Structure 1
C-alpha cells in the first residue's frame, strides 16, 4: 500500500470569495483583519496549520485556489480583473501555493489572469491547468466535442505557456477523456512535452477506472481531479481506492458544491440566465430542499465552531485522508 501521506485532499476548485476567509482561519488570522490587498511578497514562513501534502513527488499546499470564475462568474457577470489579481496574490501571502486553471475557462482568459497574478512569485508555486476540449486555438471558439489528438495537445500547451507567462506547467490534466484518441497516445504526447521540460507532471479528470489504469501504466499519473464534496461523495466508492492502490493523488473539484456549502444558497435562490447551475439536478425544485437540509447542518456546526460553512466543508474534506 502506498504511503497514505502522499494522498492529497486539496480544495482546487474553491471559489475565490469563499477561499480567503478559510485561509485566514487556517493561518490563525482574524477574518476581520483579512485584506485582499495581496502584495505577492509571500510570508517568510509557511503557516503551520495550512499544511503541505504530496501528490507523488509533487508538493503542494493542502488548499488550492481554483480560478475558473475569475473571467466570468458562472458564465454571467465579469469580475473586476484587478480584484482577481489581488485575490490570487493574497492567497499566496496566506500560504497557498497550488493554483488551478484550464484552457476552457474563458476560454483562455483565466490562464492570462493567473499568469499575471502569480508572475512575482512563479517559482514558489505549483500551476495546474487542463486540456481536452475542442477549442479553436486562434479564435478561442468552443467547437463540438473533445480533442486530445497528440498534435493538438502539443499546440495547446505552447499557447498555455504564453498565457501563463511561464516555461513549464507543473501539473497538466486531461480535462475530459477523448473517446476518439487512445489514452496511450495522449500519454505519449504528454511524455514528449515532459522530455522537453514543458510539463512536469500529468493527471486525468472524470475518467473511467480502466482508462486510469491504462494511462498510469503508460506514463505514471500524478493526480486525479474529480468532483468531491459533502454533497457528492461518489469518488469514495471506487476512484479514491484505486488512486490509493496506485499511489495517485486525488484533488477534489467543486469542494464547496458549486457554492451550496457556503451557506449563501437557500430555497429562494434562482439562477441568472446563462448560469449553468440552473440546469443541475441538485438545484431542481424537488431536490433543493433535501440538499439544503445538509447545508443547514453544516451551518449549525459552523456556529458551534465559530467558523463559516465553507470552512467546515473544507475541513471535512481535508479530514478524510491524511
Structure 2
C-alpha cells in the first residue's frame, strides 16, 4: 500500500507522528481472544507501509503480551515508527489498581523497554492516575527517565484539567489520551481547552465508539465471551443506542462512505492537534480508517452528526470503570507525600 497518511506535530515539544495512529490493544485480547501473532505483525507492517507509523500499546494489554507483539513487529522498522506505551494500571487480585509511585514508574519503564526490545520509548503515558500519589511525584520520576534517555516525550491518559496543569508544571506534557468520539464528548468542556492553552496534543482513543459506530447493534449482539465490551453500560443498552448508529449509517450512505469512516472523520475535524488511534485487527478496517482522512465535512454536516449522538440520546456511561477516568483523577498536594503510598 502506498504511503498516504501525512505527518503532523503532536503537541509542541517536537514529536512528529502520522496524522492517524494504530491502537494495538485488540490484537492481544481484551475484545475476545488474542489474534494469531503472524497475522498481527503483518497488519502492523501494512499500517507502517501505508504511513500509519504511530503505534499505541500498554503494559496492561495482555498483560505484557501486546508490547512483546509490537516489539517483534518493530524488527527492522524501528526508525520508521513512533512507539507510545503506557504504565499505571495493575491487576491485583482481579481488581484494577492505579500505581504512580516512583519505584513502580521506573520498574514499569524498564519492563516496557525490555518487552518492546527498544532503547527509548517515544511517548510514555501515565495510563491512569494514582490518586494516592501527588502527580508531581509521578512526573518527577518520568522527568528523570527523560533525562536518562529512556523516554523521549511524556503523556497522560484520562487526566483532569487540574491534573494536566500540575503535571505540565513539572515536565512538559506532549499529549493527553482520552476517549473521544461522537458519543463520548465529556472532555470538550475543560480538557480540550486546557490542552490547547498549554500546547498539548490530543490523542482520542476509541474514536469509533469501540466499534459501535461502525456496526451498531449487530456488533453488540455478537460479542464473544471474554469481550470487555460486554461489561460496558452502553453495550448493555443496545436497543436504545442503536438509533445513534442507524442515523450515522444513513448519513454515511448519503456521503458515499462507511459509518466508521464518518465517525472517524468527525474526530479528525476537531482540530489539527487531534490524532486519533483507531484500533483494528483486520486489514480491510485499516484501509477504511485511512480512508476517513479523505472524508470532508461541512459545518452543517458536523452539526447534523452531533445531533445524532447528543448526551440525551445516548444511554449508559462510556466506560465500565468511570471511577478511574479523568473525573476522578485529582491527586493529593505534594506537601502530603511521605515517600510511600500511605499519603497523610
Name which of 6, 12, 19 aligns with 1:62. Answer: 19
Gaps spanning 5+ residues in structure 2: where?
273-344
Change in CA separation of 1:144 and 1:264 when aligned onto 2, cut-off 3 Å: closer
Name which of 94, 107, 114 aligns with 1:162. Answer: 114
Q: Which residue of 2 aligns with 1:151?
A: 103
Q: Which residue of 2 aligns with 1:24?
A: none
Aligned counterparts of 2:268 and 2:175: Cα–Cα separation in 1: 16
Q: Which residue of 1 aligns with 2:6?
A: 51
The answer as to 2:90 corresponding to 1:134 is yes
Aligned counterparts of 1:316 and 1:200: Cα–Cα separation in 2: 30
**Aligned residues between the structures:** 270
Report the TM-score when normalising by structure 1. Answer: 0.79
For the residue of structure 2 that corresponds to 1:236, the secondary structure is coil
Q: Which residue of 1 aligns with 2:251?
A: 301
Change in CA separation of 1:71 and 1:233 when aligned onto 2, cut-off 3 Å: same
The answer to whether the 8 Å contact 1:270/1:278 transfers is: no
The answer to whether the 8 Å contact 2:105/2:141 transfers is: yes
Aligned counterparts of 1:299 and 1:120: Cα–Cα separation in 2: 40
Gaps spanning 5+ residues in structure 1: where?
1-33, 35-42
The answer as to 2:132 corresponding to 1:180 is yes
Aligned counterparts of 1:242 and 1:290: Cα–Cα separation in 2: 33
Q: Which residue of 1 aligns with 2:51?
A: 95
The answer to whether the 8 Å contact 1:266/1:292 transfers is: no
Q: CA deviation at 1:305?
A: 2.9
Aligned counterparts of 1:188 and 1:143: Cα–Cα separation in 2: 27
Aligned counterparts of 1:80 and 1:264: Cα–Cα separation in 2: 26
Aligned counterparts of 1:305 and 1:105: Cα–Cα separation in 2: 36
Aligned counterparts of 1:268 and 1:191: Cα–Cα separation in 2: 42
Q: Which residue of 1 aligns with 2:276?
A: none
The answer to whether the 8 Å contact 1:282/1:288 transfers is: yes
Name which of 153, 159, 164 aligns with 1:201. Answer: 153
Name which of 279, 288, 297 aligns with 2:238. Answer: 288
The answer to whether the 8 Å contact 1:132/1:148 transfers is: yes
Q: Which residue of 2 aligns with 1:320?
A: 270
Q: Which residue of 2 aligns with 1:261?
A: 213
The answer as to 2:191 corresponding to 1:239 is yes
Aligned counterparts of 2:223 and 2:195: Cα–Cα separation in 1: 35
Report the TM-score when normalising by structure 2. Answer: 0.74
Coordinate RMSD, CA, aligned: 1.9
Q: What do the CA deviations read for 1:191-245 (whole angstroms, capped 9, x no partner)?
A: 1111111000001111122111100011110010000001111111111011111
Change in CA separation of 1:234 and 1:144 when aligned onto 2, cut-off 3 Å: closer
Change in CA separation of 1:208 and 1:200 when aligned onto 2, cut-off 3 Å: same
